[in-house]
Amino acid sequence: MSAPFKLQPLLAVQERRACLAMDEVKLKNGVLRRRESERQAVRAHCGEAQRAFDSEQQGYVDAVVNNLRRAVSANGLAVIARRCELRRARLEELQNLLRAAEAAVAAARTTAAHARRAYMRAHARHEALLILAKKWQLERADRDGRAAEQAAQDLQANALAEVSLR
């Protein structure tokens, strides 16, 4: 059995490993895209909550200013203050979610990078084996070519020797 044929099972294994590694890269990249999408959604909600909080806070400031000018009930101010506090609490909650989403994106990015590196290693091993098999195949073809050339020269020499003996 020649060397390139001995490499065939190993080539098949390495090709399978490279394919599996690529599948893993695709999976991890999909997870990364989902995490980034989730982060964008949380960011959008956070922006909306910030605008709502700012609006509510401005409403509270306006109510206090109006209270100085005319009589606004203390109960009305308390309701506005409570709504403002609820908006602030919602904003803090969304900011915590955003930090968690950022951490999830970072973790997914790291995992995807590890998967890409594993693929690159598997692919490099597969390519190295392909190059080695091709090199051995070329060497064998060259060796077979030289042997055929030598055999042809021997036949020619034998034919000349027979002709000269007659």
Structure token pair of residue 85:
């506090």
Mean pLDDT over 63-74 rounds to 70
Report whether pLDDT(68) > 70.
no
Could you tell me the pLDDT band of residue 69, with boundaries at 50, 70 and 90? low
Do residues 42 and 157 touch, judged by C-beta distance below 8 A? no
Instruction: Inform me whether the pLDDT recorded for 96 exceeds 90.
Output: yes
Buried b or exposed e, range 79-89, using 16+ CB within 10 angstroms:
ebeebbeebee
pLDDT for 152 equals: 76
Q: What is the DSSP letter of 53?
A: H
User: What's the pLDDT at 143?
Assistant: 84
* pLDDT value at residue 23: 97
Inter-axis angle of helices 74-165 and 3-69, nearest 10: 170
What pLDDT shows up at residue 2? Answer: 57
**Residue with more model confidence, 165 or 125:** 125
User: pLDDT by residue (tens digit) across 5-61?
Assistant: 677 888 899 999 999 999 999 999 999 999 999 999 999 999 999 999 999 888 888
The rounded distance, in Å, linking the Cα atoms of 51 and 45 is 10
Q: Which residue did the predictor score with more confidence, 52 or 65?
A: 52
- Are 12 and 133 contacting, i.e. CB atoms less than 8 angstroms apart? no
Phi, psi of 70 (to 5 degrees): -145, 170
DSSP state, 146? H
The separation between CA 95 and the C-alpha centre of its own chain, rounded to angstroms, equals 27
pLDDT per residue as tens digits for the range 99-149 = 999 999 999 999 999 999 999 999 999 999 999 888 988 888 888 888 778
Provide the 3-class DSSP secondary structure of residue 73.
coil
State the Cα–Cα distance between residues 158 and 120, nearest whole angstrom: 56
DSSP 9-42: HHHHHHHHHHHHHHHHHHHHHHHHHHHHHHHHHH
